[in-house]
Amino acid sequence: MLDYDTVINWPFPDVVQDYTTRDTMLYALGLGYGQNPADPAELRFVYEDGLCAAPTMPVVLGNPGAWMRDPRTGIDWVKSLHGEQGLKIFAPLPAQGSVIGRNRVTGVVDKGPGRGALLMMERDIVDTATGALLATRTSTSFLRGDGGCGAPAASDPPPPPVPARAPDIVHAIATRPEAALIYRLSGDYNPVHADPKIAAKAGFARPILHGLCTFGVIGRALVATACAGDPARLRGLAGRFSAPIYPGETIETQIWTEPDGLRFQARCVERDVVVFKNGTGKTA
């Protein structure tokens, strides 16, 4: 069972990560950029001449590793699920460089025996050379096996509602059949995304796409539409994962423009299933 005092005070060392233009291009290829290699709007993310980093790339940098598997945490990590993801962007990520990942646990919520627990984390991505804060990554893990751990109980904040009208923008992006095999090269080697036997044991018909890849594809849609193609205008996005995507399926992002920012959700076109909900976004 999760040890609250140990987890809430977990000492994360700084994670220094160097990355190259090759890493930047590989991340973008994992999101499907380059499917139309004659399109300059795609080519700038996958070709070294004028290369730009995709604005969601900070989510794969500065990872503290599989710390939840440490027996001292008490976490039943096998039963953990990636529930929510967010990213606040303060400055464009350079196409190559070095960053420091500064990770911290920001909260644990006990939902009660048999109901699981929530673990909230933040990660600052800091430019090693300048000390500038480039982005802050937020995430919530649903720990299905740790309800009743004794952490403070709290109610979930109400998610932002989807406006009661048709979306202002609809943008569909088809993922490639080998998308998960490419995306995993950015650092997430969980075999559920590559091995059909492991995926079957987890209850999936075949390997599923990484949640953070879905998150990045949604970021692509926001850049292409709400940001008028300018990646520097995307300042943040967040929301909840609600269903997996299989590589090769189409992710349709439905976007509403509101006075305080963007609202969005994403669905799998082929199965008509919402895969990401309660989305919020900020643009410059």
Is residue 179 within 8 Å of residue 209, measured between CB atoms?
yes
Contacts of 33 (CB under 8 A, 6+ apart): 42, 45, 46, 54, 220
Is 208 one of the catalytic residues?
A: yes
Task: Give residue 229's identity as a one-letter amino acid code.
Answer: G
Q: Is 74 exposed, middle or buried (0-12, 13-18, 19+ CB in 10 A)?
A: middle
Q: Which of 62, 75, 173, 193 is catalytic?
A: 193
Is residue 59 within 8 Å of residue 125, measured between CB atoms?
no
The token pair that represents 12 in the structure block: 């994360």
The span from the CA of 157 to the CA of 245, in Å, is 26
Q: Identify any residues that bridge with 120 across adjacent strands, giving them in sequence order.
A: 107, 140
Is 211 one of the catalytic residues?
A: yes
Q: Which of 208, 218, 245, 255 is catalytic?
A: 208
Q: Identify any residues that bridge with 104 across adjacent strands, giving them in sequence order.
A: 122
Q: Which of 70, 127, 168, 188 is catalytic?
A: 188
Give me the numbers of helices (H) and strands (E) for the chain, helices first please.
Answer: 6, 10
Q: Which of 32, 211, 216, 279 is catalytic?
A: 211
Is residue 213 within 8 Å of residue 31, measured between CB atoms?
yes
The span from the CA of 25 to the CA of 32, in Å, is 11
The token pair that represents 225 in the structure block: 């539409």
User: Which residues are identified as catalytic?
Assistant: 188, 193, 208, 211
